[in-house]
Amino acid sequence: MDAALAPPPAAVEPITLVEATRRAVAQEMRRDASVWVLGEDVARGGIFGQYRGLIEEFGPERIVSTPISEATIMGAGLGAALVGTRPIIEMRIFDFALCAMDELVNQIAKIRYMFGGQAKPAVVIRAPHGLWRSSAAQHSQSLETWFAHLPGVVVAVPATPADAAGLLVAAIRSDDPVLFFDPKALFAATGPVPSAIDPLPFGVARHEQWGDDLTLVCWSSIVPDCVRAAEALARDGVGVDLIDLRTLWPWDEAAVLASAARTRRLLVVHEAVRAGGFGGEILARVVERLGPGALKAARRLGAPRLPVPFSPPLEDAMRVTEAKILAAAKSLLAA
Amino acid sequence: MEASTEHAIARLTELYRLMARIRAFEEVALAAHAAGELPGYLHPSIGQEAVAAGVCSVLRRDDRITSTHRGHGHALAKGAAVRGMMRELFGRAGGVCRGKGGSMHIADFSVGMLGANGVVAGGIPIAVGAAQGLRLLGCDAIVACFFGDGAINRGPFLEGLNWAALYRLPVLFVCEDNAVAAFTAACSVTAGPGAVARAESCGVAAESVDGNDVEAVAEAAARLVARVRRGDGPHLLHARTYRLLGHTSTDQAAWRDPAEVAAAKGRDPIARARQRLLAAGVAETVLDAILAEARAEMEAARADALAAPWPDAAEAWEDVQDIGAETMEQA
Ligand SMILES: Cc1ncc(C[n+]2csc(CCOP(=O)(O)OP(=O)(O)O)c2C)c(N)n1
Ligand SMILES: [Mg+2]
């Protein structure tokens, strides 16, 4: 068919990431009456508008505004899952989920195993995470690596509206507990999202762009900075193979191995602290699988091991930026 | 004999049998532990059987319970299969949790037993959420939530009371007040008058009962469960009892005041039920037969567990998660 005559892709329109997740939740709540939301301020739409308007459609029994009781928000979600409902546990901001670590780490992540498979805790834990200009040390953390380290959970770290929507639908339908890290800084980012949202598979990375000179692996809020850095490198004739992992557990080892074997230069970029970060796991895995001599150069780029400061110049000094990504990439290309 | 009296005697006889089975289960498991047959350790509830028996005797099969680290009695009283439980304590194949949980993580979802818990107060948020989920599904089952007197000093107790009261959830909170939290007198680390006052401060109606009087526990539980089920919101039953043994199977409890323990033995719930049944004219031989049957049932379960195979090592890799599960080959 002549491209000019082709119908516009009617199902696809650019919307914000936060709206994409709102539609994903609404779609699944319409499809399955056992899906419900619990968390602080969700009746008024959530603090980012992730649930705007849902109370009107689904009522206060399914959009449940709760007390500021994070341990019980998490634990009650689990209890409700054990009797057959599918709760979406909204943690408001990831840092507050730290008040519910027993319920997440000791209970949700282990109950299926400890009880010999008698129950699958089908919960989604939504935890908006990461830097959010001058939110300081208790509202800015990226601790996703902790949970990749935790047996029993799936860890989703989307960066685009379509990925956020597709992974959220998959998370709601999954019988495994899914820790869904909304990228706070990208809630306003826009992109095309189909009107009927299909679930995306976990553990399948997205190639943001293809290239032969350098493999760049990233996820969540830092992805747009990596894209800009790759574009700048492209102007210099450098082809970056840019991989957005989208999920950290499971993660797409095959995609990274294939790319690294081809480019032989590997840069992993994350907003989280470098020391002990997931970049280390990725590099270690590549060395284990491809052998110590397979790469010409490899590097992790992450934040220094500092709490996130408030003042903009201090925050800028420690955060990963496009300029730092570019510099790291160039150092690898020179090696 | 009046029909109502006859009925009361039959009921008490069944409670006596249930308590005797719980006691025998733990005595046999403790003997197995002492003989080195059983890995790990146990938290015995000997002396506290009337709380589990009394409360669970008034629950329906589809009602749910959450339990504690000291949960053998709760599980048995809710109807969990004895052999599956014993095999679980032994870490053997055929254990109710396939040997993955052991004594501290007994669960039997087929009878509404949503799990013991290795974390003090860990079952409380799960219980209120289960109640909320049941309501969402349009089911009139209720949830009984067991926890100790030590658990009331953890945050989830306050959160759970407030939460259950706020949403008027069908939860019966059961505080098993055995006077100790591990190795510390609970009252020495608890400010104020305790569980009942804390519940009432959240608008949760609460009452205390002699937790070593199984009929009193069952009567109070029946009354509160009826209110919970008809939609009057959560209630709390505070049952005063006493842990006759140490904190775990490895604690000889030599640190306890012998006079206190001796006095508590005089209030043994099983002996008290027996006295009452004898006074009502039940023959001693009948009661002895109940004890002997309980003992034989549990000894048979011990022999079954000891003869059962160990789980296949490959099972360690099973039931972690569906998506992203590591395989044995990857190790
Ligand atoms: C959160 C937590 N802290 C500490 C422990 C260790 N611990 C196990 S049982 C126990 C005492 C609990 O007392 P209580 O709630 O009264 O229950 P009981 O043992 O008397 O049945 C403690 C401190 C634990 N399991 N969980
Ligand atoms: Mg106690």
CATH number reported for the structural domain that contains residue A35 in this entry: 3.40.50.970
In a domain, A82, yes or no: yes
CATH number of the domain at A280, please: 3.40.50.920
Q: What pLDDT was estimated at residue B331?
A: 64
Nearest CA in chain B to A74: B125
Confidence of residue A2 (pLDDT cuts 50, 70, 90): very low
Residues with Cβ within 8 Å of B172's Cβ and at least 6 positions away in sequence, in order, are: B55, B142, B143, B144, B145, B221, B224, B225, B228, B234, B235, B236, B237
In a domain, A25, yes or no: yes
Are A125 and A26 within one domain?
yes
Are A299 and A170 within one domain?
no
Give the best residue of B110, B321, B322 to mutate against chain A (max A CB count within 10 A): B321
Written out in words, the top-level CATH class of the domain with range B3-310 is alpha beta
A242-288 pLDDT, tens digit per residue, is 999 999 999 999 999 999 999 999 999 999 999 999 999 999 999 99
Domain boundary among A194, A218, A248: A194
**CB–CB of A112 and B128 under 8 A?**
no
In a domain, A199, yes or no: no
Q: Which of A62-66, A162-166, B185-189 has the lowest mean pLDDT?
A: B185-189
Tell me how far the alpha carbon of residue B181 lies from the centroid of ligand 1, in angstroms: 6
> For residue B151, which atom of ligand 1 is closest to its CA?
15
Q: What pLDDT was estimated at residue B22?
A: 98
Q: Percent of chain A scored above 90 by pLDDT? A: 96
Are A144 and A47 within one domain?
yes
The closest of B60, B14, B8 to B219, measured between CA atoms, is B8
Given the residues A129, A139, A149, A270, select the one marked as catalytic: A139
In a domain, A1, yes or no: no
Q: What pLDDT was estimated at residue B253?
A: 87
In a domain, A119, yes or no: yes
Are A228 and A162 within one domain?
no
**CB–CB of A75 and B134 under 8 A?**
no
Q: Above 90 in pLDDT, residue A68? A: yes
Selected residues 66-85 of chain B with any CB under 8 Å from a CB in chain A: 66
As for how many domains chain A has, the answer is: 2
Mean pLDDT rounded to a whole number for chain A:
96
CA distance A272 to A163: 20
**CB–CB of A76 and B114 under 8 A?**
no
Report the pocket of ligand 1 as residue ranges, CB < 6 Å.
B 68-70, 118-120, 148-151, 178, 180-182, 186, 243
Are A218 and A287 within one domain?
yes
B235-266 pLDDT, tens digit per residue, is 999 999 999 999 999 998 888 899 999 999 99
B83-135 pLDDT, tens digit per residue, is 999 999 999 999 999 999 999 999 999 999 999 999 999 999 999 999 999 99
β-bridge partners, A87: A36
Pairing of strands B205-210, B235-240: parallel
Closest CB from B114, B167, B318 relative to A82? B114
Q: Is B195 left (phi over 0), alpha (psi -120 to 50) or beta?
A: alpha
**Ordered strands of the A214-218 beta sheet:** A206-209, A240-244, A214-218, A265-273, A297-303
CA distance B124 to A75: 8
Give the best residue of A63, A110, A115, A153 to mutate against chain B (max B CB count within 10 A): A115
Tell me how far the alpha carbon of residue B250 lies from the centroid of ligand 2, in angstroms: 17
**CB–CB of B122 and A75 under 8 A?**
yes
CA distance A319 to A131: 9
Closest CB from B98, B119, B321 relative to A176? B321
CA distance A30 to chain B (A): 15
- For range A315-322, the mean pLDDT: 97
Q: What pLDDT was estimated at residue B41?
A: 95
Are A100 and A176 within one domain?
yes
Domain boundary among A194, A219, A243: A194
Tell me how far the alpha carbon of residue B166 lies from the centroid of ligand 1, in angstroms: 27
Q: Is B127 helix (H, G, I), strand (E, B) or coil?
A: helix
- The residue range of the domain holding A34 is 7-194
In a domain, A31, yes or no: yes
In a domain, A218, yes or no: yes
| Residue A270 falls in the annotated catalytic set | no
Domain boundary among A194, A223, A247: A194
Are A225 and A300 within one domain?
yes
Are A71 and A184 within one domain?
yes
B111-120 pLDDT, tens digit per residue, is 999 999 999 9
* Helices and strands counted in chain B (H then E): 11, 7
**Which chain A residues are within 8 Å of B105, Cβ to Cβ?**
114-115
Domain ranges of chain B: 3-310
**CB–CB of B159 and A67 under 8 A?**
yes
ipTM of predicted complex: 0.96
Are A187 and A241 within one domain?
no
Confidence of residue B2 (pLDDT cuts 50, 70, 90): confident
B187-234 pLDDT, tens digit per residue, is 999 999 999 999 999 999 999 999 999 999 999 999 999 999 999 999
Q: Above 90 in pLDDT, residue A11? A: no
A194-237 pLDDT, tens digit per residue, is 999 999 999 999 999 999 999 999 999 999 999 999 999 999 99
Q: What pLDDT was estimated at residue A252?
A: 98
